[in-house]
Structure formats: C-alpha cells, structure tokens
Amino acid sequence: MIDLYTYRTSNGRKAQIMLEECGLDYALHIVDITRGEQGEPAFRIINPNGRIPAIVDREGAGGPDSAPLVLFESGAILLYLAQKTGLFLPEDEKDRWRAVQWLMFQMGGVGPMFGQAHHFRRAQTQVEYGIKRYTTEARRLWGVLDGHLAGSEFMHGDYSIADMAIYPWTARYDWQGVALEEFPNVKRWFEAVGARPAVAKAMAINLAEAA
C-alpha cells in the first residue's frame, strides 16, 4: 500500500497518474495547499520542503531493508514507481535515458517556467516584466514540445513517465496564454494522453475519495 500526499495541481497529478496507470494500491491524502497544510509539522516530517506530492511506500523499496520508503519530488516518485513496477520506461538503456531526459526537461523547465507563468499572469498585482518573461519562456517550451512531437508519437518511444510528467502542465494551457491549435503536434499528443482512463481519473481528482 502506498500513501499519496497530494493536491489538485500539476505536480500532484503526475504521481497519481502513475499510480493509476500501474494499478497500484494507494490511499489518497489531500494536503490542502490553499490552507497551508503543506507547511504543517506533521507533513514536514514527510517532506521537509513542504511541497506536494509525496509518497510513503509502506512495503519499502524491497531488498533487505523493508522499512517504509518516504519520497518527495514528483520526478523521483515517477522514477521510483517505474523501477518498482518495471512499467512506463523503455527497457533499452539508450531509450530509457532519452525518456528520462524528457522527464528532466519537465522537472527543470516546463514545471518551473509554466508555474511562474501561472503566477505572474494570474496575480492580483500585474507585473509586466514577469508576465512577459514567463509567457515568452512558456511559449518557447511549447515550441520545443511541438517540434519534438512532430516526429514522435510520445515523448520517447511508448507512452512513459515523461508523458505523465508533462501532460498535467500542458492541461493548464489557458493559464499560459496558449491555444492548443497553435501547437498542432502537442494537441494531437495531448488528446491521446488525455483519453487514457488513468489520466482522466487523476485529472478529475476527487477530494471526497481522500482518506
């Protein structure tokens, strides 16, 4: 059993998509970041950085040490679950690293830059410099994705954790000042990924189902 500490945000949804895709048994714990629950001492024991998502794998990572594994950072969670299940990362080593490369592109680029675009574009105090800087950077990243997806069905090889990581961020395209029609290759990929039942379920995260 895995405990998932999350909220209905892009990073939170990444972990839940993977748990759903793998059919793993998990309990949903909502950390309401609009009420500051991510900063409470009980949650900081799980993630000293005070951010969602985080997981506790009660079975541990296997091997001689079977103590529960506590993990934060959504990219680390996706990699851990891929290794645990043997699912959603290519077996071939070169292909595996290329999929990991796109996961890191999300962790270091798409997530932080789209996040800043959301912040500045939706802030009560409109700061023109911030809006311009992060809208421009978000659109540049959309262009990189569109160029790549022109020649690739998914981010690399078959559908993988790289797709799961990027999808929830692209789902906020309107917050980034983007219309899907402007990036037809991302649109095609976006519709294919969004049609997966696991993705649809995580995107419609049901707070009432939480433990």
Ligand X SMILES: N[C@@H](CCC(=O)N[C@@H](CS)C(=O)NCC(=O)O)C(=O)O
- Residue 73 near ligand X by CB under 6 A: yes
Return the residue of 4, 8, 9, 160 that touches ligand X, per CB under 6 A. 9
Q: Please list every residue from 47 through 66 that binds ligand X, using CB under 6 A.
A: 51-53
Please answer whether residues 193 and 167 qualify as being in contact, where contact means their C-beta atoms are separated by less than 8 angstroms.
yes
- β-partners of residue 29 are 5
Q: How many residues belong to the site for ligand X (CB under 6 A)?
A: 13
Per-residue contact flags (x/-) with ligand X for residues 133 to 172, judged by CB under 6 A: ----------------------------------------
Handedness of CA 134, 135, 138, 140 (dihedral sign): negative
Q: Which residues of 27-64 are buried (b: 16+ CB within 10 A; e: fewer)?
A: ebbbbebeeebbeeeebeebbeebbbbbbbbeeeeeee
3-class DSSP state of 137: helix
Minimum gap (Å) between residue 44 Cβ and ligand X: 12
| 155 vs 176: CA distance, rounded Å | 21
- Residue 10 near ligand X by CB under 6 A: yes
Return the residue of 16, 74, 135, 176 that touches ligand X, per CB under 6 A. 74
Q: Which residues of 158-197 are buried (b: 16+ CB within 10 A; e: fewer)?
A: ebbbbbbbbbbbbbbbebbebeeeebeebbebbeebeebe
Per-residue contact flags (x/-) with ligand X for residues 78 to 117, judged by CB under 6 A: ---------------------------------x------
Return the residue of 4, 5, 8, 11 that touches ligand X, per CB under 6 A. 11
- Residue 210 near ligand X by CB under 6 A: no
Minimum gap (Å) between residue 93 Cβ and ligand X: 25
Q: Please list every residue from 19 through 48 that binds ligand X, using CB under 6 A.
A: 33, 38
Minimum gap (Å) between residue 31 Cβ and ligand X: 8
Minimum gap (Å) between residue 174 Cβ and ligand X: 17
3 state SS for 58-122 = CCCCCCCCCCCEEEECHHHHHHHHHHHHCCCCCCCHHHHHHHHHHHHHHHHHHHHHHHHHHHHHH
Indicate the residue among 150 and 207 with the shorter CB distance to ligand X: 207
Q: Where does this chain bind ligand X (CB under 6 A)? A: 9-12, 33, 38, 51-53, 73-75, 111
